[in-house]
C-alpha cells in the first residue's frame, strides 16, 4: 500500500521557473494516483536487491497491464551506506500505461504526437536559475566522501555479471562545435571513481555524441559533456530515440510536452541542461585515451564483455533538493528499455510506410518485443486486398528505414495478430512458398548485439510475404456464435478466467460454398443423416482415395488459389 509520507517531499512547491509540463516529481505523484506506483519505504540494497526485485515483473509471468513503477526511498549499497536520494526503477515505461501517464495523453494519441513532435520541434526557454542547481558541488569539494559520483545511488543492473554500478538512464548532452546543435543521447555509464565516469556510446547506432567526440579529437580538445540523470518524462522519452543529428532532442521534447522545455546554462561546461533535471554530472570526455569498460548486461539480452571505451572527468555535480535517480530495467526483453523504444518506433515505421512511401494497404506495424529486443523482428499487417507490389514495397521500405532494425520482416493479413508469435509462425508456415515468398537482402548493419563470426559480423534482412495469396478454406475453429455461447457456459461453471488468443473462432477466408454452409447448418441441428444420404447418391468407382470433389469433371471448380485436400 502506498503511504502518503514517503511521497510528501515530491509535492509541488512554489518558486522556480514557470512551466506547463510535468517534471519527474509530478510524474511520480501521477503514477501514485493511478495506482501504477509501488513505494518501497525500507532499506533496499541497490547493488544486489533493487533490480532483481523489479525484474520479476518482467520475468514472472505478470501481464504487461499489471506491471508498475517502483520507487525506492531508502537505497543502500553493498557496504550498508545510505543515500539522501530515491531511485525510480521502471518509472517511465514499465508498461504502456506507465508510458501513457508520462506522456500525459491517451495511448491512441501517442503515435500521432511523436510524428508531430519530430516534424515541429519547439525551441527551449532559457532561464537564469533552476531546481537542478539547488545544490552545486564542484572543484575540490567533489573529492570529499559522498560528494562525487559515490554520493549518487546508482544500482547494479545485473548483479553477478556487471563489474560495478552503471547509469542506465544517463542522458548525455554534447554539442556540435560547428553548428552549435546539441545532442541528447542515452548511454550506459560506469561509475569508476568519485570523479570518473565510463561510457559506451554504442557506435553501431551511429550516435551523435560519437560524431562530436571525433570533431573534438580532431581539434585536440576534450569533449564537454553534461549527463542528466532524472528529467521531465518528455526529455527522457526523446533521449532514447534515434533522431537526425540536425535535431536537438530538447526541442523535440518541447513539442512532445506541448510547451518549451526550460533549460539553464551548466556551471562548468558550455551546454544547456533541463532546468528540472534531478542530477546533472558535468565534465569533459577524454578524446586522446580510452580505457577498459564493462562487462555489463545489455539490452540485446547478452552480457557485453570488456571493451576499450571513453571516459569523462567530472568537473561538477548539480542536483535538486529531494532528487530521484531514474534507472531503466533493460537486458533481456520485455523490459522498460524495450517498451520505451517500441511505443515510439512503431508509429514512426507506420508513418514512414503510409505517408513517406505512400504504400497502400498497410494497417499496422508491430515490433516483436519478448527476447528479441524490438528491432530484430518486425511484422507489417495489410488489408486482404493489398496488391503484391505494395506488400513488397513495404517490406523493402521497412528494411531500409534504419541501418540496424529489421533482421526478419514479415507481411501478414489483418486476421493474424502480430502480438501472437504462434499466429505469426502459422502464417509463415501455411501462407508462404519460400521459393517465391522469401527474399534475403544482404549487407545489413549488424546493429546492437552479438555479431556473427563471418563477414565481420555483417547481417542481412529476411523479407517474408506471409499474406494470403488467394482464397482459403475457413479457419478450423467453431464459428464465433458457438465459441461465445461456450464461454458463457465456462463462466457459469466457474472454471476460471479466460484470455482469448486470436484466432479463437473460425472465419471465412474466401472459399466456403453455399452447399457446405447448408450441410454445416444441418449438422448442428442434428440432421446430418440427410448429408450422408446425399453422399451415398454420389458414389463413384473411377476415382482414387482422397480425390477432391472439385477435380471431378462436371463439378464446380475451385477459384484460383491454394490446393484444397478436402471435399467441397
**Separation between Cα atoms, residue 398 and residue 365, nearest integer Å:** 10
Please give the pLDDT value at position 204.
59
Backbone φ, ψ for residue 366 (5° rounding): -125, 125
Please give the pLDDT value at position 510.
86
**Cis amide leading into 334 (omega within 30):** yes
**Separation between Cα atoms, residue 245 and residue 227, nearest integer Å:** 18
**Separation between Cα atoms, residue 558 and residue 258, nearest integer Å:** 57
Backbone φ, ψ for residue 142 (5° rounding): -65, -20
Own/partner pairs, 366-370, CB within 8 angstroms, 24+ separation: 366/418, 366/419, 367/342, 368/418, 368/421, 368/424, 369/333, 369/334, 369/338, 369/339, 369/342, 370/333, 370/334, 370/421
C-alpha pair distances (Å), 5 with each of 8, 73, 356, 505, 514: 5, 11, 51, 51, 69
Please give the pLDDT value at position 565.
43
Exposed (0-12), middle (13-18) or buried (19+): which is 46, by Cβ within 10 Å? buried
- Provide the 8-state DSSP code for 204: G
Sorted by where each starts, the structural domains of the chain and their CATH numbers stand as: 5-327 (2.30.110.10), 357-465 (3.40.1670.10), 480-551 (no CATH)
Give the helix/strand (H/E) hosting 285.
strand 279-285
Sign of the torsion formed by the C-alpha atoms of 290, 293, 298 and 304: positive
**Separation between Cα atoms, residue 91 and residue 236, nearest integer Å:** 11
**Separation between Cα atoms, residue 300 and residue 338, nearest integer Å:** 9
Please give the pLDDT value at position 555.
44
Please name the residue that has the C-alpha cell 465459441: 483
Please give the pLDDT value at position 552.
73
C-alpha pair distances (Å), 466 with each of 385, 387, 430, 461, 559: 14, 13, 8, 15, 20
C-alpha pair distances (Å), 544 with each of 281, 368, 549, 552, 564: 80, 46, 11, 11, 16
Say which residues have a Cβ less than 8 Å from residue 29's Cβ, sequence separation at least 6: 7, 10, 11
Give the helix/strand (H/E) hosting 395.
helix 388-401
Exposed (0-12), middle (13-18) or buried (19+): which is 363, by Cβ within 10 Å? middle
**Cell triple for residue 394?**
513495404
284, 281, 262, 282: which is closest to 21 by C-alpha?
A: 262
Per-residue pLDDT tens, the chain, 568 aa: give them: 445 578 999 998 777 899 999 999 999 999 999 999 999 999 999 999 999 999 999 999 899 999 999 999 999 999 999 999 999 999 999 999 999 999 999 999 999 999 999 999 999 999 999 999 999 999 999 999 999 999 999 999 999 999 999 999 999 999 999 999 999 999 999 999 999 999 998 775 667 899 999 999 999 999 999 999 999 999 999 999 888 888 999 999 999 999 999 999 999 999 999 999 999 999 999 999 999 999 999 888 889 889 999 999 999 999 999 999 999 998 888 899 899 999 999 999 999 999 999 999 999 999 999 998 888 999 999 999 999 999 999 999 999 998 778 999 999 999 999 999 999 999 999 999 999 999 999 887 777 677 788 887 788 999 999 999 988 889 888 999 999 999 999 999 999 999 888 888 998 888 888 999 999 999 999 999 999 999 999 989 888 888 888 777 444 444 444 444 443 3
Please give the pLDDT value at position 517.
92
pTM for this prediction: 0.87
Say which residues have a Cβ less than 8 Å from residue 353's Cβ, sequence separation at least 6: 359, 362, 365, 380, 394, 397, 398
Amino acid at each position: 500500500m502506498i503511504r502518503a509520507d514517503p511521497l510528501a517531499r515530491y509535492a509541488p512547491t512554489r518558486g522556480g521557473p514557470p512551466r506547463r509540463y510535468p517534471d519527474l516529481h509530478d510524474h511520480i505523484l501521477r503514477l501514485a494516483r493511478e495506482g501504477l506506483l509501488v513505494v518501497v519505504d525500507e532499506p533496499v540494497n541497490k547493488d544486489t536487491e533493487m533490480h532483481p526485485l523489479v525484474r520479476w515483473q518482467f520475468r514472472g509471468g505478470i501481464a504487461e497491464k499489471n506491471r508498475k513503477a517502483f520507487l525506492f526511498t531508502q537505497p543502500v549499497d553493498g557496504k550498508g551506506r545510505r543515500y539522501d536520494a530515491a531511485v525510480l526503477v521502471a518509472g517511465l515505461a514499465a508498461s504502456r500505461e506507465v508510458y501513457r501517464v508520462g506522456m500525459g495523453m491517451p495511448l491512441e494519441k501517442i503515435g500521432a504526437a511523436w510524428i508531430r513532435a519530430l516534424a515541429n520541434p519547439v525551441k527551449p526557454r532559457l532561464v537564469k536559475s533552476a531546481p537542478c542547481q539547488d545544490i552545486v558541488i564542484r572543484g575540490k569539494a567533489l573529492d570529499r566522501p559522498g560528494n562525487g559520483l559515490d554520493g549518487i545511488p546508482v544500482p547494479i543492473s545485473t548483479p553477478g555479471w556487471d563489474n560495478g554500478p552503471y547509469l542506465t538512464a544517463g542522458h548525455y548532452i554534447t554539442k556540435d562545435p560547428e553548428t552549435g546543435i546539441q545532442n541528447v543521447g542515452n548511454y550506459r555509464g560506469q561509475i569508476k571513481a568519485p570523479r570518473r565516469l565510463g561510457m559506451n556510446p554504442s557506435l553501431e547506432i551511429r550516435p551523435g555524441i560519437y560524431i562530436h567526440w571525433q570533431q573534438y579529437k580532431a581539434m585536440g580538445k576534450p569533449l564537454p559533456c553534461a549527463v542528466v540523470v532524472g528529467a521531465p518524462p518528455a526529455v527522457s522519452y526523446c533521449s532514447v530515440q534515434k533522431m537526425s543529428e540536425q535535431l536537438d532532442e530538447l526541442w523535440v521534447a518541447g513539442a512532445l510536452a506541448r510547451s518549451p522545455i526550460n533549460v539553464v546554462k551548466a556551471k562548468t561546461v558550455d551546454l544547456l541542461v533541463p532546468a528540472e533535471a534531478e542530477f546533472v554530472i558535468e565534465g569533459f570526455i577524454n578524446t586522446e585515451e580510452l580505457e577498459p569498460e564493462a562487462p555489463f548486461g545489455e539490452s540485446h539480452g547478452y552480457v557485453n564483455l570488456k571493451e576499450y571505451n571513453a571516459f569523462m572527468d567530472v568537473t561538477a555535480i548539480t542536483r535538486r533538493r529531494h532528487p530521484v535517480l531514474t534507472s531503466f530495467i533493460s537486458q533481456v526483453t520485455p523490459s522498460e528499455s524495450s517498451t520505451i523504444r517500441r511505443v515510439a518506433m512503431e508509429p514512426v515505421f507506420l508513418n514512414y510506410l503510409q505517408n513517406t512511401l505512400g504504400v497502400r494497404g498497410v494497417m499496422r506495424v508491430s515490433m516483436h518485443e519478448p527476447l528479441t529486443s524490438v528491432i530484430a523482428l518486425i511484422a507489417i499487417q495489410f488489408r486482404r486486398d493489398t496488391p503484391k507490389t505494395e506488400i513488397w514495397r513495404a517490406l523493402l521500405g521497412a528494411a531500409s528505414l534504419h541501418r540496424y532494425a529489421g533482421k526478419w520482416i514479415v507481411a501478414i493479413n489483418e486476421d493474424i495478430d502480430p502480438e501472437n508469435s504462434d499466429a505469426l509462425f502459422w502464417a509463415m508456415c501455411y501462407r508462404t512458398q519460400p521459393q517465391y515468398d522469401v527474399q534475403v537482402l544482404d549487407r545489413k548493419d549488424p546493429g546492437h548485439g552479438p555479431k556473427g563470426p563471418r563477414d565481420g559480423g555483417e547481417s542481412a534482412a529476411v523479407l517474408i510475404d506471409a499474406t494470403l495469396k488467394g482464397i482459403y478454406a475457413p479457419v478450423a475453429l467453431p464459428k464465433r456464435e458457438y465459441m461465445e455461447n461456450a464461454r458463457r457456459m465456462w463462466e457459469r461453471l466457474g472454471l476460471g478466467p479466460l484470455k482469448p488468443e486470436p484466432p479463437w473462432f473460425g472465419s471465412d477466408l474466401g472459399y466456403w460454398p453455399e452447399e457446405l454452409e447448408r450441410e454445416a447448418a444441418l449438422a448442428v441441428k442434428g440432421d446430418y443423416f440427410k448429408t450422408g444420404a446425399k453422399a451415398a447418391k454420389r458414389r463413384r468407382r473411377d476415382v482414387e482415395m482422397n480425390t477432391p470433389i472439385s477435380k471431378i469433371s462436371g463439378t464446380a471448380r475451385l477459384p484460383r488459389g491454394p490446393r484444397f485436400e478436402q471435399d467441397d
